[in-house]
Amino acid sequence: MTYTQIAVLSVGVVVVLDLFVFRTRMVARKAFWASYAIIVFFQLITNGMFTGFGIVQYDGAAIIGSTSPTTGPPPMFGDGRIAFAPIEDLLFGFSLILLSISLWVLFGRMGISRTPVSGPPLWRRRVSSRTRD
């Protein structure tokens, strides 16, 4: 199978795990998509570093775009790439992020380190402890 095929398949598998196996339903939750929006912004930067500096290179036979050039960076946009990286990397990243967060929620629901809960942010804590005292 090509990277393109595995990447699409992986998203399908992880979404099925999230919805029907773990039943964490992260893809139906605002908290997940808000988090993903933040993460994907940084993913484009880090992916850009990995591929733009040639740390990781790709075979054109496995992706929609062409093989990473041996000299210089690949195209920043176009030829199947976004911010130097193959668009398949976005699917790979989505699978890794969704599976991580889904497992985190699943294990919490199973009672493993459910607490302490997050928050409040430092800036809110100051105000609240003063009003309570």
Partner 1 sequence: MLGLPSNLAYVGVLVFVLAGSLWLELVLRTRVFARLPRLLLVLAVVIWPFLLWDAYAIAEGHWFFDATRITGIYLPAEIPLDELLFFLVIPIASILTIEAVRSVRSWPVGDGSDEEQRQVAQS
Residues that bind partner 1 (CB under 8 A): 2-3, 6, 10, 24-26, 29-32, 34-35, 38-39, 42, 45-46, 49-50, 53-59, 62-63, 92-93, 96-97, 99-101, 103-109, 111-122, 124-125, 128, 132
Give the separation between CA 16 and CA 65, rounded to whole angstroms: 28
CA distance to 32, 117, 123, 124, per residue, from 128 (Å): 27, 17, 9, 6
Kindly state the smallest distance separating residue 79's Cβ from partner 1, in Å. 16
Q: Residue 78 or residue 116: which is nearer to partner 1 going by CB?
A: 116
| Minimum distance of partner 1 from residue 77's CB (angstroms) | 20
CB of 21 to partner 1, least distance (A): 13
CB of 80 to partner 1, least distance (A): 14
By C-beta, is 77 or 112 nearer to partner 1?
112
Of 43, 18, 8, 20, the residue nearest 100 (C-alpha): 18
- Residue 131: which residues within 8 A CB-CB, separation 6 or more? none
User: Could you check whether the bond before residue 120 is cis, i.e. omega within 30 degrees of 0?
Assistant: yes
